[in-house]
Structure 1
């Protein structure tokens, strides 16, 4: 069996029929769906939950990871997309190792030569590392802009050329790139899925010929039977470019901003990293024609363009911050240091108590002696590189089965993620947003700065409370 994370997305929907010819594909999706589109079964999964990812992958031999810029189903999300992405990929890799997955296929993006990567491209590269951190061989397919009618990047292009007869082209439109047809990506995934390598490998996917973004826009216009004029300008800041694209296409800032930041680089497939295949590469003209024909048949609003809907159920919080574990320290030390540091900072306001075995922690309001919230260490879910604590009842929190605070190392190094998941506040929501929610984020940022100071010392010393 092949488990496909992100099966309900643009590439995942096209992949199902191909995989079904040789495998029994399983669709992994945040929402429970009826099987279809080539998928034999559908499993609901929250990739922000390690236990959920483990159960979703159970019974599969191979896995395909098509997830990017995943947002948790929470009313309030605090965190950068890079950190949210690496957390999901880390959960997936840990879960895959737990259930015995033999091979992971990851679809990423082409990377420019050199080390000057945008946040968007750096995140793609980090996910390659995160997926391979447990030792499972990972085949990464780095793709150029994937051309297909339902793709968000293609929709940006299509809306620009359809809505603007005259386009002002900033300097980034001269950057060169190699788009790739959706069918070629699907064929490549199918080809490599059961070809288990001895170690991780990377292939680049792109059309035979490179074009500039301006040439791509002109070719897209021609595929619709349109003629467009382009005026080059020597400078146009990324901020103005983002505003121009957002206003013209209706795409959200969160989608456009990281893409614009990446366009200043040439995004070319390396000749020595191309996937050996007998399938002829689809030409630019052909892939644009196919996408234009499909778009003409249906009204398509990509999921990435849609406004996020408020999840059903209680209002929850997800807060994720990236930190650094000091040299010579492990995750258990980080968790203990957090409570020691917080007790010092909140002296006079909050008293932190611990049970004799250290498994139960309470935050007590000094003026009244009332518990604000509690934490219970989950020993069966904790380990050398992960500490997990369940949030328990208090004046500021409700007890749930999923509310938890965790610290974990990711990427196989000292990169540390601190995350509060599925937290349900007791305060009215609008009061929580401007008080407790803001305070929690400030505390975690300050604790991260504390760990950085310790990391700069050759032999960090820990003060005790």
Structure 2
């Protein structure tokens, strides 16, 4: 018989990412009866009363230092992070590139803090589809799973299909469609089968997995009793709402057209709606060989889960279920400071033999040649790089290499000055080169940058130029690969 790690006398310490999010705040209530929880969120515990067995920590996983501080003292960690929504006033990035960067920071921090296990909630991966043919969303989920396991901490992955609850992502989209449309034209993708599971059973599975040494380095499919098509789920959702809806089949497989009108009808941000809807082409059904007895073997039917979700939503709207001692947040709201900051993240392929640190040095050397004679990059003995316009001594940007925070696979440069960088307030602007584990790819990211130019001018000049420079550097590296 498998047992949890540790002794019953000592309460384990569990770090919970996304603790103020939809799944996170529900999971928090499940964990505190048996564990001390480090609740991690970008806003920390601001506006929250003290909760038993819970300590809130402000943690921005785009910062490796924040991740290391956030996970200090944790025995186990639950990873519920997904970066579909923008994380800055201006975000120039694909969500999958931000996801891999966040997962890398988290995994490094977990390893350095001696975390025993990472529990990760992912999506069901179709077994017969090559990774290159998966949707962006599922391909990213699979990549995150691999990155989390790259630094020695055992990872237990729970893979779920559609999670049925009053908030979240996929089910609220179905609910809004049924509420707002008296009839629906159903394209071919609505016949795709998926394995729904009720939120309480996802929480049960997450809770039961923590500390289970026999589940280390395992990926487990979870699902409820019903495997249904999206058409069937729409029909049962209509019944749960007490509404009659007309469904008209349509032969075309128009998932890319569907994502546009689904986002418009439901009001879901396109950054979230598009990747989710693109995944509907794949059947997401739990496989028997990937299941585990007692973990995520749901018994709550889709119909009952939908009714429970609708009832909970109505109670909340009527004020019968107001949270106490917690900061009120709108579902899906990005938790971040209100400031004119920038995050820009791009991914490049590296030539053979080049690591992350070498990529950074190659970039600065290439920039000096490619922009010359107009732009010069001057490097001094203190590892400070100053990007200047020819003939001017004052730099546009000043980058200071952080040797103590860098390694062969990661190079970090703090933005410490320059006329393009705002110094009106303390900020943590930095340039990061991060090699994706066990790959020839590198993430190049600017974090928390505060431009000195007026915002409108910056957005349509310097920000665009940066994207062009990254594209040109990517082409330069590509030529070196040939």
TM-score computed with the length of structure 2 as normaliser: 0.89
Matches within 5 A, 1:318-337: 318-337=343-362
* Secondary structure in structure 2 of the residue aligned to 1:298: helix
- Separation in structure 2 between the aligned mates of residue 198 and residue 212 of structure 1, nearest angstrom: 30
Matches within 5 A, 1:70-109: 71=85, 73-109=87-123
Aligned to 2:78: 64
Once the two structures are TM-superposed, the CA of residue 71 in structure 1 deviates from its matched residue by: 4.8
Measured at CA, do residues 304 and 68 of structure 1 come closer, stay the same or move farther in structure 2, by a change above 3 Å?
farther
- Separation in structure 2 between the aligned mates of residue 164 and residue 401 of structure 1, nearest angstrom: 47
Q: 2:427·2:450 contact (CA, 8 Å) conserved in 1?
A: no
1:11 matched to 2:39 = no
1:385 matched to 2:383 = no
Q: 1:10·1:150 contact (CA, 8 Å) conserved in 2?
A: yes
Report Cα offsets for 1:335-354 as digits up to 9, x if no partner.
11111211111111012111
Aligned to 2:254: 237
Q: 1:19·1:38 contact (CA, 8 Å) conserved in 2?
A: no
Deviates more, 1:204-213 or 1:96-105: 204-213
Deviates more, 1:96-105 or 1:348-357: 348-357
Q: 2:42·2:336 contact (CA, 8 Å) conserved in 1?
A: no
1:163 matched to 2:180 = yes
Report Cα offsets for 1:164-221 as digits up to 9, x if no partner.
2211101100000110110111001110111134851100011223110000110111
1:25 matched to 2:37 = yes
Matches within 5 A, 1:47-196: 47-69=61-83, 71=85, 73-113=87-127, 114-115=129-130, 116-196=133-213
Aligned to 2:372: 347
- Separation in structure 2 between the aligned mates of residue 232 and residue 70 of structure 1, nearest angstrom: 30
Q: 1:16·1:39 contact (CA, 8 Å) conserved in 2?
A: no
Once the two structures are TM-superposed, the CA of residue 401 in structure 1 deviates from its matched residue by: 4.7
1:448 matched to 2:465 = no
Once the two structures are TM-superposed, the CA of residue 132 in structure 1 deviates from its matched residue by: 0.8
Measured at CA, do residues 38 and 64 of structure 1 come closer, stay the same or move farther in structure 2, by a change above 3 Å?
farther
Aligned to 1:463: none
Q: CA RMSD in A?
A: 2.1
Matches within 5 A, 1:213-292: 213-235=230-252, 237-277=254-294, 281-292=299-310
- Separation in structure 2 between the aligned mates of residue 141 and residue 190 of structure 1, nearest angstrom: 11
Report Cα offsets for 1:296-328 as digits up to 9, x if no partner.
21239995655x698424x22111101122211
Once the two structures are TM-superposed, the CA of residue 330 in structure 1 deviates from its matched residue by: 2.3
- Separation in structure 2 between the aligned mates of residue 136 and residue 217 of structure 1, nearest angstrom: 40
Q: 2:43·2:336 contact (CA, 8 Å) conserved in 1?
A: no
- Separation in structure 2 between the aligned mates of residue 168 and residue 413 of structure 1, nearest angstrom: 43
Once the two structures are TM-superposed, the CA of residue 131 in structure 1 deviates from its matched residue by: 0.9
- Separation in structure 2 between the aligned mates of residue 198 and residue 221 of structure 1, nearest angstrom: 38
Once the two structures are TM-superposed, the CA of residue 236 in structure 1 deviates from its matched residue by: 5.2
Equivalenced residues, count? 453
Measured at CA, do residues 71 and 155 of structure 1 come closer, stay the same or move farther in structure 2, by a change above 3 Å?
closer
- Separation in structure 2 between the aligned mates of residue 284 and residue 256 of structure 1, nearest angstrom: 22
